[in-house]
């Protein structure tokens, strides 16, 4: 049986490096995962479109939990990098990806 490809609107990565974990990133990832599941935003749900993955250190250790997001955009790939992410912000980022809306600006530190 061949592997199944899931088309998505974007991909969120939540850092699970030790510094972000010390600031609650494991709980943040779990809560966001549950939210995507409950709201049927997760890519594997009917109508869902958001992929979520744990990541290693994203290089902003003093400012975590750190989250980055990638999605296709006109002219290439759009990325957003966020520091001190809490659950409400993470859900807003996920919703923007699902809706194809502009990414939230609060706590966004890159790209310039
Ligand atoms: S441990 Fe999360 S950015 Fe380095």
Does residue 3 form part of some domain? no
Domains contained in the chain, number: 1
Does residue 25 form part of some domain? yes
Higher pLDDT, 73 or 112: 73
> What is the CB < 6 Å shell around ligand 1?
15, 17-20, 57-61, 64, 66
Q: How far is the CA of 20 from the centre of ligand 1 (A)?
A: 5
Q: What CA–CA distance (Å, rounded) separates 71 from 20?
A: 23
Structural domain that includes position 52: 10-110
CATH assignment of the domain containing 83: 3.40.30.10
Does residue 4 form part of some domain? no
Give kind and range of the element (H or E) at residue 51: strand 50-55
Q: How far is the CA of 66 from the centre of ligand 1 (A)?
A: 6
pLDDT band at 4 (very low <50, low <70, confident <90, very high): confident
- The three-point CA angle 98-8-58 to 5° equals 85
- The pLDDT of residue 1: 82
Does residue 83 form part of some domain? yes
pLDDT digits (tens, 9 = 90+) for 43-81: 999 999 999 999 999 999 999 999 999 999 998 999 999
- The pLDDT of residue 112: 79
Q: What CA–CA distance (Å, rounded) separates 23 from 100?
A: 29
């Amino acid at each position: 049986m061949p592997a199944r490809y899931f088309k998505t609107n974007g991909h969120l990565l939540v850092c699970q490096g030790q510094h972000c974990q010390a600031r609650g990133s494991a709980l943040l990832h779990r809560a966001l995962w549950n939210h995507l599941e409950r709201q049927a935003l997760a890519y594997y749900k009917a109508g869902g479109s958001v992929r979520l993955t744990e990541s290693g250190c994203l290089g902003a250790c003093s400012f975590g939990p750190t989250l980055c997001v990638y999605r296709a955009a006109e002219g290439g790939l759009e990325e957003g990098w966020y520091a001190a992410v809490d659950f409400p912000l993470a859900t807003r980022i996920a919703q923007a990806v699902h809706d194809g809306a502009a990414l939230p600006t609060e706590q966004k530190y890159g790209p310039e």
